[in-house]
Amino acid sequence: MKVKLVSNILDANTAMAAENRRRFQQEKIFVLNLMSAPGAGKTSILEKTIARLKDRVSMAVIEGDICTTKDAERIAALGVEAVQINTDGACHLDANMMASALANLELNSLDLLVVENVGNLVCPAEFDLGEDLKAMVLSVTEGNDKPFKYPLMFRESKAILVNKIDLLPYTEFDVEALRRDLAEINPGAEVFLVSARTGEGIEAWASWLERKVKEKKDF
């Protein structure tokens, strides 16, 4: 039965994610699973985040894409180690893919590992990778109606980055309506209004992330 098959897949993923989490805890590495729809600006935000953090924390990035290495090349150009995972059609990363990618990293030298998941508003939130938290990027050009259309993504994310706020005057995006919807779906989520193009709001986001990294190191 299809339901049973899906259940088995998720159970196997959960077991592998637990093993990944054990390894991350042992090395005290903070792991962020960054998600969004295609084109929301994950990679651009990541570039700005790296610029602020790479001299303060030791970090690496795992890039998930259906194909190509373009995003990994952008990250590596900033002097940060990047490992590419090409899913060959799969719409998300899973814990087994994550475990395979870890073999290419010196985990004992890292403070922060960012996983840039495949651009998709459905599947990525369903699969635990062993991360400490999920965050997602929503661009103002997508509209503020997404929380109720894709509730799992927003419910699972501890941080929501609203990107491209420099374009707010040219859209009908309603920030307050988004906040009201998030208060109903996920009242504990942190919301960051950012622009990857201008850098607005990135410092607040990067500082929050750095605190999370140091909290795990000190735990």
Q: Estimate to the nearest angstrom the gap between the alpha carbon of 112 and the chain centroid.
A: 12
- pLDDT score at 10: 79
pTM listed for this prediction: 0.94
Considering the four listed CATH numbers 3.50.30.10, 1.20.1250.20, 3.40.630.30, 3.40.50.300, the one that applies to the domain covering 2-218 is 3.40.50.300
Mean of pLDDT values over 143-168: 97
| Strand 157-163 to 133-139 pairing | parallel
**Residue of 204 and 68 predicted with greater confidence:** 204
Dmax over Cα atoms in the chain, in whole Å? 51
Domain residue ranges in the chain: 2-218
Rg over alpha carbons for the chain, rounded to the nearest Å, is: 17
pLDDT at 219 over 80: no
pLDDT digits (tens, 9 = 90+) for 25-34: 999 999 999 9
Nearest Cα neighbor of 132 from 23, 15, 10 is 23
Average pLDDT score over the chain: 94
- pLDDT score at 94: 96
- pLDDT score at 50: 98
| Strand 59-65 to 112-116 pairing | parallel
